[in-house]
Amino acid sequence: MQVIESEGALNASDEAVQPATAAEPKPRVQSALRAISILLAISESQGGLRVKDIAERLSLSRQVTYHLIHTLHSTGIIRKNENNRYVLGLAAVAIAEGFQRQLAPPEHLGRRVRSIVAATGEAAYASGWLGGEVVALFTARGQSPVGAAQVPMGYSGFAHARAAGKLLLALADPGMVSSYMDSHPRPARTTRTITDRDELLREFGQIRKQGYAIDNEEFDEGIRCLAVPISGVNGRYVLGISVPSNRFEPNFEQYLSVLNDAARLNF
């Protein structure tokens, strides 16, 4: 293989099991989905949420919201803090610890990355925030005769030039982005690398609008990369694909579709 380096109160409808559809093949219990949505919303908030906040954010009635919060509160998975806001409770620790034991991030992400390689034949990777750095957490070499080699797992350089890095920065809290850019130089790796802070911030805005990021030969000449966020994890992890430039545009829609499929929360 020729390799090119790159980066790698409940009512009846609440409890009813909904019929399967083409988009959602498995039956759903609406109240369970709503309870999980509440937990995710609380976990993504900075200082917790009030009942009113939750109802408005999730488009739920106040009655249904109160009922579900009461149920969650009784399990200890959420609690009310001194500001009358609901935050995660001690029971949530068991879930966090279970995730660490059962689905450590590299292997949990690896299954998604391998599915991208199988569907496209191209090199793929998963990246995320680790210790304040944008880190390659799992990488896999492509199957095509001529392809892009993945960067080593643990690589954290040139985030401003990588599709994954730009996407993670675009989705991060503005204060975190400012701090990161203050403390990380932005040297040019190729003639296409964006090094100007204001230009990068403008690109981050465009990335948020379109929902994906592209590295247009900014990390390596002759290589283009595409990255999308994994759903439901608040911009913490992304999936990407590295492709020789001559294959990128003709297959862009396929690559984007495959990445988005692998990025589903319930993959």
- Give tens-digit pLDDT for 24-56: 444 467 888 899 999 988 988 888 999 999 999
Answer whether residue 253 shows pLDDT above 50: yes
Answer whether residue 161 shows pLDDT above 90: yes
- Say if 1 falls within a structural domain: no
- Say if 232 falls within a structural domain: yes
Question: Is pLDDT larger for residue 15 or for residue 41?
Answer: 41
- Lowest mean pLDDT of 93-102, 189-198, 205-214, name the range: 93-102
Residue 260 tokens read as 């988005």
CA dihedral 206, 210, 211, 216 (to 10 degrees): -70
| pLDDT mean over 178-187 | 94
Note whether 148 and 228 are same-domain residues.
yes
Pairing mode of beta strands 237-244, 78-80: unpaired
Three-class SS state of 202? helix
- Say if 6 falls within a structural domain: no
Q: Domains in the chain: how many in total?
A: 2
- Give tens-digit pLDDT for 81-107: 999 999 999 888 887 777 655 545 666
Q: How far is CA 111 from the centre of its chain?
A: 15
Q: In this structure, what CATH number is given to the domain that contains residue 51?
A: 1.10.10.10
Q: Among the three residues 46, 76, 99, which one is the final residue of a domain in this structure? A: 99
The boundaries of the domain holding residue 67 are: 14-99
Q: How confident is the model at residue 267 (pLDDT cuts 50, 70, 90)?
A: confident
Which residue bears the tokens 């190729």?
Answer: 190
- Give tens-digit pLDDT for 133-153: 999 999 998 887 655 556 777
Three-class SS state of 85? coil
User: pTM for this one?
Assistant: 0.66
Note whether 186 and 249 are same-domain residues.
yes
Q: How confident is the model at residue 125 (pLDDT cuts 50, 70, 90)?
A: very high
Answer whether residue 8 shows pLDDT above 50: no
Give the pLDDT of residue 7.
Answer: 46
Answer whether residue 196 shows pLDDT above 90: yes
Note whether 56 and 116 are same-domain residues.
no
